[in-house]
Structure 1
Amino acid sequence: MTVNASQKKAVVILSGGLDSTTCMGIARDKGYELYPITFDYGQRHKIELENAGLVADYYGVKDRHKVIALGFLKEFGGSALTDETIDVPDTSQAGTAAQYGESEIPVTYVPGRNLLFLSIATSYAESIGAEAIYIGVNALDYSGYPDCRPEFIRKVEEVMAFATRVGVEGGPIRIETPLSEWTKAEIIRQGTVLRVPYQLTTSCYNGQAEACGVCDSCRLRLKGFAEAGVPDPIAYRT
């Protein structure tokens, strides 16, 4: 694809999931030239890397899609998503992690993940002259992760302004979190209006061809589609 030097650019942290793909649609709707970046950190649900590629292709930016290897996160472990000895919880009986209590952080939290992702995305954004980074963090329908909170995003943005040349010269890179205050249903409704390809996404933490339907991420997704009144276009085992 030919790059228009005059068009504003945005790096989109693209996991291949529902939220990050909605961010792609929103950034495109805002007129940004899209530069998706995906991270292979040894996650159990490695299938999402394939979905991210399909989404990039859908938006016509497959040639710009970067996949960055961060395998050391699997070596570190400490999360059900990177350590095969820790089971992904079945929340079909207990409800979603958001209902467990404000102080409880689920075992699917990956230590330092979004901090690393944003640091690398900042480097990429500065090198290509992008003015914004889009990330699909959410402070309402989320699983209790500390690195999805608005306070975290603000602190990282402050550091970026000090740590980059463009920040020091008065043109800091922004972190855009358009989904931060939306429920999952609101995200899906907006994405549907923007023709976001949800059929190409995955949300399952177990990483199977058919989503499990019982992990926290699947249940949040299913609840969102039900409340939005929109059929979920992917297949579920349960």
Structure 2
Amino acid sequence: MNKKAVVLLSGGLDSTVCMAVAYNQGYELLPISFNYHQRHKRELAAAAQVAKHYKVDRHLIIETNMDAIGGSALTDTSIAVPAGEIGAATVPITYVPARNLIFLSYALGYAEVTGAERVYIGVNALDYSGYPDCRPEFIAMFQQLANYSTKATAEDGRKIMIETPLIRLTKKDIVLLGDKLGAPLHLTTSCYEGQDKACGQCDSCLLRLKGFAEAGLIDPILYQTRGE
């Protein structure tokens, strides 16, 4: 039986490179994406294209209405997506409350049911937007929780490990790794505005462009403007 890995796939740069890592480590890929009523739903189409690229048997999409909670520019259209400010000292308004906690919980349940031994998530704690649920401390705490929260662990002694291969990489390193592994970076999207062309101004676009520039590569996706 092939070893299996659930991969949290948003359709963005980091999650796609993370999926490429799992693929190159020999795992059967079980991608899981979320329609959480985000304003940038275009990322779901990108995730579907990435899944198709890797010829997965099933791409699971979970419906969950995080816009009902609100509090984020990504789920509340009355809050404008701000122009990017890389390295801000406070958590930006694009933070979605408890998003990775919710997503990892779904992924853990999916891994238990499918017999997957790993859950891959492309969180990053260096060149990132300052979200608290992207930090190593958060992942370590969730791993402890996972060790005590499933039938697989309680009865079968099967531990499901949370893998974060990008967590200590810069965006430059992530771009270079994706290029090395042949990840389909041209199929990805990172923009919070969710238009056909990336805005080039939100913090996600700026971090992505910074990574490509420092890697000495041209970002293959289309932009309205390539902000500095």
TM-score where L is the length of structure 1: 0.93
Two-structure CA RMSD over aligned residues (Å) = 0.7
SS state of the match for residue 147, structure 2?
A: helix
SS state of the match for residue 143, structure 1?
A: coil
SS state of the match for residue 44, structure 2?
A: helix
2:82 equivalent among 86, 89, 104: 89
**Structure 2 counterpart of 1:176, which letter?**
E
Equivalent runs, 1:68-107 vs 2, <5 Å: 68-71=62-65, 73-91=66-84, 95-96=85-86, 99-101=87-89, 104-107=90-93
Note the alpha carbon deviations across 1:130-153, whole angstroms, 9 max, x for none.
000000000101101000011100
- Map of 1:40 onto structure 2: 35
2:99 equivalent among 96, 102, 113: 113
Q: Distance in 1 between matches of 2:140 and 2:151?
A: 19
Q: Distance in 1 between matches of 2:88 and 2:179?
A: 30
Q: Distance in 1 between matches of 2:206 and 2:80?
A: 16
Note the alpha carbon deviations across 1:122-175, whole angstroms, 9 max, x for none.
000000000000000001011010000111001111111101122224321000
**Structure 2 unmatched runs, 5+:** none
SS state of the match for residue 206, structure 1?
A: coil
- Map of 1:3 onto structure 2: none
1:7: Cα distance to partner? 0.9
Equivalent runs, 1:15-34 vs 2, <5 Å: 15-34=10-29
SS state of the match for residue 11, structure 1?
A: strand
Equivalent runs, 1:1-238 vs 2, <5 Å: 6-61=1-56, 63-71=57-65, 73-91=66-84, 95-96=85-86, 99-101=87-89, 104-168=90-154, 169-238=156-225
Percent of matched pairs sharing the same residue: 58
Note the alpha carbon deviations across 1:170-229, whole angstroms, 9 max, x for none.
321000000000000001101101100000000000000000000000000000000001
- Matched residues, number: 224
**Structure 1 unmatched runs, 5+:** 1-5
Q: Distance in 1 between matches of 2:88 and 2:37?
A: 27
**Structure 2 counterpart of 1:100, which letter?**
A
Q: Distance in 1 between matches of 2:81 and 2:193?
A: 7
**Structure 1 counterpart of 2:207, which letter?**
L
SS state of the match for residue 67, structure 1?
A: strand
SS state of the match for residue 124, structure 2?
A: coil
Q: Distance in 1 between matches of 2:131 and 2:200?
A: 20
TM-score where L is the length of structure 2: 0.97
SS state of the match for residue 61, structure 2?
A: strand
Moved over 4 A (4+): none
